[in-house]
Structure formats: structure tokens, C-alpha cells
Amino acid sequence: APIRRLIKAMKRFETQAADFSYSGEECSVSELRALSASFGHMSDKIKGLMEKIREDETALRKTELKALQAQINPHFLYNTLDSIQWMCEQGKTDQAAQMVRALARLFRISISRGKELIPIRDELRHAESYLIIQSFRYSGSFTYSFETDSSLEGFLCNKITVQPLIENALYHGVAGMDDGVIKIGVKRAEDSSGDILITVSDNGVGMTAEQCRAVLSKERSDSGGIGIKNVNDRLRIYFGEKYGLTLTSELDEGTTVTVRIPEITEEMQNEL
């Protein structure tokens, strides 16, 4: 009977290692007690190693995503500088100055002194700087607006979360339109206390369910920037599977990307 119980425990460990718990087999036979104790020690050691591997994989993924964030998209930078040069040559110095200021603020917030989490307020400024630059480059073919709950802007979010979503709206939504509209919103989640929803909506061509899945699976954006998949991966690594991105879209109506994050304060960020 003790041997059968030990075999049963071993089989359970094979299929449910993460939740497995074993206290040892009480038996009058010393050899069986020693075998049972050794199995208990081995299972604890394996569970510890599995947890260490998970932590190492998460740390490696965070490092990879930080390296991706740190990359300045050369195409975007080249096109922006080219536009600034053209404006200067055309005597449009005021517009050129606005683009330079927006570009400087964009990079300053991107750096953020090496911090991964920044106030939502700064993330929105980063997004606005990107929109200012693109609105000049697209010659006013789209408009944008922000509708945010100011009481939430002090909470933290992953930097460079909103800009890739706006980039997606530009390239997959309103590109080629004369009356494109992009809206950015921040509000509390009604279905879960303590969660924040950041939305990026456009009135563009929309996407099918299959196209939405394809966008969520791409590592890089069409312009070479950070892909929506990487934004989603980063959110889930930091906050858990409950959080991340959802896409809703209707053909010829538009697309909305929703970011779900928890309410994180400056004091709480060291716990992540």
C-alpha cells in the first residue's frame, strides 16, 4: 500500500508539478521512508528550479522588450527631419519649430531616465508629440482629440504604450482619408474596480476579425516601429494575463484598441 501511494504521488507530480505538494510517506519500513523522503526533497527542488526558469524567462523577455523600446525608428526620424528641412526651405519656420519641439519632447519622454513605468500624463504627452509630428507630415488629413479622466493621469503605465496604437490607427485606419479622426481616452473600468482603460479609436476602414488577430500577432509595425503584439506582451508580463490589449473593429466604421492596466502608484512600482 505505501508503494502504491508513492507511485500515485509520482504520477500526480508528472501532470501537476506546479501545484504539487508532498509531505512524505509514513511507513514502518525504513527503506520506503527514505525513498519517500528523497522523492519529497526532489519534487521540492524541481518546483524551485521550474519557478527559477519562469523568473529568468520573464526577466529575459522584459530585457528584450526594453531593448526594442530603446530603438529609435530610423524611418520615422529620417522622415521627420526631412519634413523639418522642407519647412525651413519653404520659410515655414514656425511649423518647423513646432515639429522640433515635439520631436525633442517625444525622445525625452521615450528615455524617461531608464524607467519602464511613467505617469499616464507623460505617456499622453508622448502620444501628443507623435500626433503633432504626424499631423504636419500628413498635411492635416486627420484630426485628433483627447478625452481623459484627469484624476487617473498620476497613475503609472508602461512607456511607449499609446504611440504604437496611434501608429496602427494611422497606417491601418485613416491613411488615405481626408477626414480621418483619432480619439484617445482614459477612464476607469466599469467592470473591474482598480483597473484603468486607455482607448485609441479611429473612424478608418476597419478590420475583419482575422485582420485584428494578424495585427495582434505582428512583432513590428508596418513602419518598422514597435508592434502591437509587443505592447500586449509587455503589459501581460508586467501585470498578468488579465491585462493587455483588445481590438474591436467594424469594416468601414473604424477600430478601437483598448488597453487594460491596473492602478499602479509610484510607491507600488518597486513591487513589480
Identify the pLDDT of residue 192.
87
Identify the pLDDT of residue 128. Answer: 95
**Residues pairing with 200 in the sheet:** 184, 257
Cell numbers representing residue 109 in the block: 519622454
Q: Which residue has the cell 482603460?
A: 197
- Please check whether residue 223 is in contact with residue 158, taking contact to mean a CB–CB distance below 8 angstroms: no
pLDDT at 30: 81
pLDDT recorded at residue 33: 82
Q: Shortest CA distance to 233 belongs to which of 247, 244, 218, 225?
A: 244
pTM of this prediction? 0.75
Task: Name the amino acid, one letter, at 90.
Answer: Q
CA distances to 50, 118, 158, 198, 241 from 263, rounded to whole Å, are 30, 12, 12, 12, 16
Q: How far apart are CA 175 and CA 202, in angstroms?
A: 11
pLDDT, mean of each 10-residue run, the chain (272 residues): 85 84 75 85 89 84 67 72 91 92 88 82 94 88 94 93 91 87 96 94 92 80 70 88 94 95 86 65
